[in-house]
Structure 1
Amino acid sequence: MSFSNIMDSNSYTGGSVGRHGDGLIEARERMLGPAYRLFYRKPVHLVRGEGSHLFDADGVRYLDAYNNVASVGHCHPHVVDAVMRQMTSINTHTRYLHDGIVDYSDRLLGTLGADIDQVMYACTGSEANDLALRVAAMHTGATGVIVTNEAYHGNTQAVTAISPSNGGPAVLGPHVRTVPPPDSRQPGPTAEVFADHVRRAADELQAAGFGVSCLVVDTIFSSDGVLAERDTLAPAVAAVRERGAVFIADEVQPGFGRTGEAMWGFDRHGVRPDIVTMGKPMGNGLPVSAMAVRSAVLERFATTQPYFNTFGGNPVSMAAAAAVLDVIESDELPAHALRIGARLREGIAGIATDHAAVDDIRGTGLYIGVEIVTDDGAPDRQRARAIVEAMRDAHVLISVCGEHGNVLKIRPPLVFSDSDVDWFCTALDSALAATLMTVG
């Protein structure tokens, strides 16, 4: 089986895991098959969540510094109440009239700007990106797609083909070209260097007969290693539009206030997308996703291809999504993420002074990447994974990302608190010290 950077950099590889885990893992592997992955050398058996904390089968409390799905906090009472109330009324599909989907769509589109004026619903970010590719191809008459080197955009057949982090070049379709992400550590003006890569990729696609349908970008470049520099996209977006293509902003990870600076990651780059996709935190754990789009871009698809998704936009999911917006707005979570994220990065920077393995610390809001390197400055996948495992043993959950699997991926719920920051930094300091002895 090929190595998947996003799935295998921090996955369980076998062995004894303790009294609650062994039988459960054996049953899981027997019935679900080998394609599924578990986190950590010693997987965590979670049974309850509250805010930014999780509890295992023994009642041990964990700090969740990874999960952006329960974005407004695990089991948030306002979301739970909204879902339960709707569930006791009706839950059906979008071929019947229902106020919930219209009311939510009005609120959602209001956060995106007047030019993005229509929205379609699905259940997962993968489905939303799959739909976005179909819409883009119908609008442009082309099929060529440009993505970044370690992009992850989902796991349907169509989006696996544009997700190199799922398994490297072997998974990519012939109509796909990859480009290095915008990285300020590389020589030259970041935005222009990125645009030059995109232009060359577009020229290749045109020469190969695919044309250029779209540039698809996760606007915080999370799988590429969390690259959070602002204003790096405009020249590249202009370059693809000059060739008749559209820009798809994949907001599944940076959206809904995660960056702290704006509701949507694309706002930080001063660009307007043609299509926006979203999922994960949208329903705080309930499966709901969306593709929002300029009506002019959607027109050809919408007038020739009927769309229906049995569960997409159902009343219960709409109730959950509306409740999430309520909490984001009433609790001012983007502003909170900006403040607490800055404090978390400052805490990590303070620790880094005593640990040479910590190189770059980057991010915005509550999306942070910490690069781990060897003594000679090379990416250190082994040490990064050891740190993740040491953090897990200290009951703090994180993961890794980036081309070399050496970037600590820190992405907690938006309700992360000051005391959570203290817990995290104490655990990271100890993990760095412990792994120096075991790996160094």
Structure 2
Amino acid sequence: MVLQLHVWGPAFALPSIDAQCLAAIAYCSLSLPKDSWELIASSDPSVSPTGELPALQNGSTWVSRFRNIVDYLRQYSDGAWDLDRQLDESDRADNTAFASFVESRGQSLVDLSLYVSSQNYHNNTSPAYGSILQWPNQWILPPKLHGAAKARTEHLGLSSLDLQAMEEQRQREHSAAVAAGKVPKSLIQRPRDTVTSLLGRSSSQNHFRLEALTADFFEPLEAMLGQKAYLLTLKEDDLPSSLDCIALGYLSLALVPELSFPWLRDAMRAKAPLLSAYTERLRRRCFGDVPVEVAHAFSPQSASASSLPWRAPERISVTAVGSTLLATLADSTPFLSEIRRNNRLKQAAEDSDLTSIEKGAVSMYADSSKRDMYVSIAAGVGGIVALVGYMFHVGLISVSSQEQESDGEEEEEEEEAVPDFATISAGDFLGL
């Protein structure tokens, strides 16, 4: 049976807009025979039972996330499709450690570059999603991904890259100043800033932080690579490892995209020239020499020159549209969103490579959070019932049938007091 790899669609001349998907594509391209797998740019996490991309489908079996896909392919092929089979125990330990390093540091930089930087998000990233998503996902998913990236990088203190957040903060300060009865000159409305002007005015803070973040990511990898062909292997004829695939996913999104504000690409070229050349070389080997276009994913017949086994995704069904809308509504509902978040947390723990003790701890935390939510709901409902009962008790709320009956009798008496002119003669009326 042909394996199917579902990923986020192409963008920026790359076969996917997501780093984990790029890593999975690179791994399959290097390890699998071309006629044994298909690449599908479904760009819809709901196609996978786990709700995540990349997702590898083998009949009724689904495996999501890059590391899980690597483990599944190794077991499925009895080691024949294992890029790490040439590594000894020490190299395997280094592989795991550096892969975690690349994912944690690289994800933050990609988030800042593609999503938090307002110029890049509105001019490049958001249009890229619009070209690969079907309705209604093209209106639902980009804001969710944007918000998730901002939440992941909030601790870095670089919110000034997000002009919308800066504008909202300035409006709050302006409103507070107006409420206090004075408006400082610094808060008087002025032309909208750009990221460049913001960084220029606060170079002592933002520039230093960006310099530190990019140096912490690129320089260790540059030193590790040195003059070698790949990050771990020593010989020119050796295959790249899974570490090279995960590194390619993040490094290609840092180096390749043509963005309005290319601060990450400029930093990579300046700080890691060997790493930049390595990324371009490995990119051509895994993804081909021809830049990937969106049409390659949706019209594979136009991708005859592509080295990737594209297959057009299926059109979204009415059932899938309804499921997406219901899921969005559930995620927007406070209590339902909490339940879904706890369920996803438990599922992610089960699919991960955590130990049984760690999985049990995560499961206990999710169950405890769910119980706390139920207790909060019960306490809220009980409080409302008690408040309504108290209001009835003190007379603030009263519904009396006797009062309604007396009101009805008063209305009848008023109606009887009105003379019936139809029964009064003209003489009686004139007093004759």
- TM-score of the aligned structures, taking structure 2 as reference length: 0.27
Task: Give 1 or 2: higher strand fraction.
Answer: 1
* TM-score normalised over the length of structure 1: 0.26
CA radius of gyration, larger in: 2
